[in-house]
Amino acid sequence: MPRIRAASIDQHKAITRDALLGAAKKLIEEAGTADIPLGEVALAAGVGRTTLYDYFSDRDDMIASLVEEELPLVISNLIETVATDQPVDRRLAELASKTVEFVASDPVFGVILHREAGRMSPDAQERIRASHAQLSTEMAGLYIRGVADGVFNRMPPQLAGRLIQDTIMSAAKTLIADDGSMRPTTVTDSLSTFLLGGLAAHSGFDS
pLDDT band at residue 125, thresholds of 50, 70 and 90? very high
Predicted local distance difference test score (pLDDT) of residue 9: 84
Which of 126, 125, 16, 124 shows the shortest CA–CA distance to 61? Answer: 124
pLDDT band at residue 47, thresholds of 50, 70 and 90? very high
> From the centroid of its chain, how far is CA 155?
25
Terminal C-alpha separation, the chain: 68
Q: CB-based contacts of 31: which residues, under 8 Å, 6+ apart?
A: none
* Mean pLDDT, range 128-139, rounded to an integer: 92
The beta strands (E) that lie in the chain are given as none
Instruction: Work out the percent of the chain whose per-residue pLDDT is above 70.
Output: 94
Main-chain phi, psi angles of 200, to 5 degrees: -60, 140
Distance (Å, whole) CA 64 – CA 73: 15
Residue 200, classed as helix, strand or coil, is strand
Predicted local distance difference test score (pLDDT) of residue 3: 54
Please list the residue range(s) of the chain that carry CATH number 1.10.10.60. Answer: 1-56
pLDDT of 79 strictly over 80: yes
Please list the residue range(s) of the chain that carry CATH number 1.10.357.10. Answer: 60-203
Predicted local distance difference test score (pLDDT) of residue 114: 84
CATH topology of domain 60-203: Tetracycline Repressor; domain 2 (1.10.357)
Predicted local distance difference test score (pLDDT) of residue 6: 57
Main-chain phi, psi angles of 120, to 5 degrees: -90, 175
Predicted local distance difference test score (pLDDT) of residue 1: 39
Q: Which residue has the higher pLDDT, 65 or 162?
A: 65
Which of 120, 12, 28 shows the shortest CA–CA distance to 70? Answer: 28
pLDDT of 66 strictly over 90: yes
Distance (Å, whole) CA 132 – CA 73: 9
- Write 66-73 long-range contacts (CB < 8 A, 24+): 66/21, 66/24, 66/25, 66/108, 66/112, 67/109, 67/112, 67/127, 67/128, 67/131, 68/127, 68/128, 68/130, 68/131, 69/21, 70/25, 70/109, 71/109, 71/128, 71/131, 71/132, 72/131, 72/132, 72/134
pLDDT band at residue 2, thresholds of 50, 70 and 90? very low
Report the predicted TM-score, pTM, of the whole model to 2 decimal places.
0.84
Distance (Å, whole) CA 91 – CA 48: 48
Lowest mean pLDDT among 81-90, 103-112, 119-128: 103-112
pLDDT band at residue 206, thresholds of 50, 70 and 90? very low
pLDDT band at residue 4, thresholds of 50, 70 and 90? low
Question: What are the Cα distances from residue 65, in Å, to 56, 108, 113?
Answer: 8, 13, 13
Under CATH, which architecture does the 1-56 domain have? Orthogonal Bundle (1.10)
Main-chain phi, psi angles of 52, to 5 degrees: -55, -35
Predicted local distance difference test score (pLDDT) of residue 207: 42
